[in-house]
Structure 1
Amino acid sequence: MKLTIRTLRVAAVSLIASSCLISPAMAAKTLKLHHLNNNDPFDNPTGAMASVFKSLVESGTNGEVQVQLFPNSQLGKDSEVIFQVKAGVIQSGIHSVGGVAAAYPLIGVLDVPFAYPNISTTYKVFDGPFGDKLAADIQDKAGLQVLGFGDSGGFFALTNSKKEIRSPEDMKGLKIRTMGLDSHKAVIQSLGGQPAAIAWSEVYTALQTGVADGQMNPVPIISFAKFAEVQDYLTLTGHLFTPYVWTINPEFYASLSEEEKGVINYAAHSAIVAGRGMARAIEASDRGLEQLKKTMKVYTPTAEERKAFKEMSQPVVMKVIAEKYGTEGVEMMNAFLAAIEES
């Protein structure tokens, strides 16, 4: 083929035009964000958090930082993905405390049962000085920067397929799924149940096949995970609150401009507020407790019954925390309980 001046000019113009089109994309920084559930912002708290974060970051940086979402644990188990964030394979993750425990075992000090008087106290604790202390310790020991602490759906409830739970005695013999935390296992053991550590992605099948009789999670999670299809009884014990821990790779964060860091911080804070609001809305709507009541027998323990649960479980779990984490764990646990008292 003979190359003419006209052909060369056309080729040159095409090359320049194409380079102009792709240069913004090439220049953009990509933040890959892992989370545990569907991307639908109206379906669950992490979906709301991830969607709001993506929108605010991309608009706030004029597209210079692009956010790619990886929902439903598609990159692996939470306890594995947290090390992907640490290594910089992906840049960020919204993790359960069970996932965080793989890199930062001390997160188990948050599992003192029946510690909070109400849900608003949880926000004050994790948005205040104790949250800052915990975030700094996670970065120091695990090498992961923390953007904030989200709401995984509120206080935990117990479900099972065998019988109604009104007292600790009703827990005897029940196989209850927990995260892999010793503190979570201790809660179930202290009440006479048998803990079964099962990965989140496998919980529904475990309940369906009888590998586990029950599980413990907040109402919104029980609802959107469709556990009502394989569980018959729900007891609103309110025994635990476990935050989502939002991490980001420190090296990636350091590579951002000061303006981009500001956008990331603002977007994460706004997303956490949105996730909390979604958790409360689902809990109170016909997609939450009202929906579960249609197929599950729901029971709310009396003050006396809650006291019995607390008296059996709290001392045992605090002892486990002291034995497992030593002086350092006791200090962090006491700081946690003091923050609750102050709030």
Structure 2
Amino acid sequence: MLHKSIINLLTGAAFALTLTGAASAAELRYAHVGAEGDIQTIFAAQAAEGIDAATNSEVTVSVYPASQLGGVAEMVDGVRMGSISMGHHDFASLARLVPEVAVFNAPFIYRDGAHALAATDPETSPALQAINEQLVAQGVRIIGRIYRGDRHISSNFEVKTPEDLSGKPFRAVPLELWVSMIKGFGAIPTPVEVAELPTALMTGVVVGQENPLTMIASNNLNEVQSHVSMTGHMRAVLAVFVNEEVWQGLTEEQRTAITTVLDEEAEKSLQMATEGEAELVEELKGRGMTILTEADGLDLDAFREGVSAQIAQDFPNFTPLIEQIQAVE
């Protein structure tokens, strides 16, 4: 009798890659957790259309957004096992397979959005290529990326330097990388689930948090926060990954067509994020928030130095990878 895990793997692969007569035709199941209207959701829908066109419908992609096929952990496991062909999420979501992949979500490692895309290009980034080799051994390959926007600090008082946050409780995403970053901000990391964040800010359980402006606006955090410090400490780049067996089941021409489409959509996501942030700044000002930039005395160098030192202390194995990433032109 076949071992249960082998049966699951074979069954999953059958779901993930449907051969339609010829070995060169395939249907891929693409899952993600993004909600309607999010850049990542638009990316997946447009990528599916582009892949269909670029392969003359030899490869069709069915997209399952909004956690329809499970949460992040289930999606990653599904892609690894083959029951889901491909998906996307933060690079750190793959850290269970290869811990070092979380480096691509590390704060203050990208100069700007264009650098973030260049440094996470699977075809040209030395750091990503090295990590991809390890991921492939686990059955997963990164084949693209999405630029979702920059993360900034919001607070109920003016924050220009880490000293302004010293000793104060600040919301931390319950992941080691985020806890380390909040320590680098000078604050006390305080885990709060996102659903509880508005209440925690209103009651003073935490005095601030960090997120892209899209999240700040959509969750009406302007009602419990007065200031946004435009630190851009994290460039939110998501990894697009695929089951390795499914990937190798495609022809070289199909793989090239898919990666070309994903590269084009990555550039579009950067443009959407950049234009969207400018509009959101004005919207949040209109809602009464004060926006702080370097022109207003925001000391980005102080935040960068504090956070970088903390990350180097807590994640020493990231240092050579960060050096490779920062060397990318």
Aligned residue identity for 1:75 = L
The answer to whether the 8 A contact 1:49-1:275 is kept is yes
The answer to whether the 8 A contact 2:92-2:105 is kept is no
- The corresponding residue for 1:184 is 178
- The corresponding residue for 2:33 is 36
Give deviations 1:271-295, integer Å, cap 9, x for gaps.
Answer: 212211211121123xx22112222
Q: Compare 131-140 and 292-301 and name the one that shifted more.
A: 131-140
Shift of 1:246: 0.7
Matches within 5 A, 1:202-241: 203=194, 205-210=195-200, 213-224=207-218, 227-228=221-222, 231-241=225-235
Cα-Cα RMSD = 2.8
- The corresponding residue for 1:143 is 139
Q: Which of these two proteins has the greater Rg computed from alpha carbons? A: 1
Aligned pairs, how many?
300
Shift of 1:95: 0.9
1:294 equivalenced with 2:289 (yes/no): no
Give deviations 1:137-171, integer Å, cap 9, x for gaps.
Answer: 23424431111222121x320123x3332221222
**TM-score between the two structures when normalised by the length of structure 2:** 0.79
Give deviations 1:40-97, integer Å, cap 9, x for gaps.
Answer: xxx3321221121111122233433322212223333323321211111111111113
Shift of 1:184: 2.2
- The corresponding residue for 1:248 is 242
* Residue ranges of structure 2 left out of the alignment (5+ in a row): 1-17
Residue 298 of structure 1 aligns to a residue in which SS? strand
**TM-score between the two structures when normalised by the length of structure 1:** 0.76
Matches within 5 A, 1:83-94: 83-94=77-88
Once residues 257 and 60 of structure 1 are traced to their aligned partners in structure 2, the CA distance between those partners, rounded to angstroms, is 13
Aligned residue identity for 1:147 = I
Cα distance 1:117–1:146, how it changes in 2: closer, same or farther (>3 A)? Answer: closer
Say which of 168, 175, 178 aligns to 1:173.
168
Once residues 327 and 222 of structure 2 are traced to their aligned partners in structure 1, the CA distance between those partners, rounded to angstroms, is 37
Aligned residue identity for 2:292 = Y
Once residues 215 and 168 of structure 1 are traced to their aligned partners in structure 2, the CA distance between those partners, rounded to angstroms, is 14
The answer to whether the 8 A contact 1:80-1:99 is kept is no
* Residue ranges of structure 1 left out of the alignment (5+ in a row): 1-23
The answer to whether the 8 A contact 2:169-2:188 is kept is yes
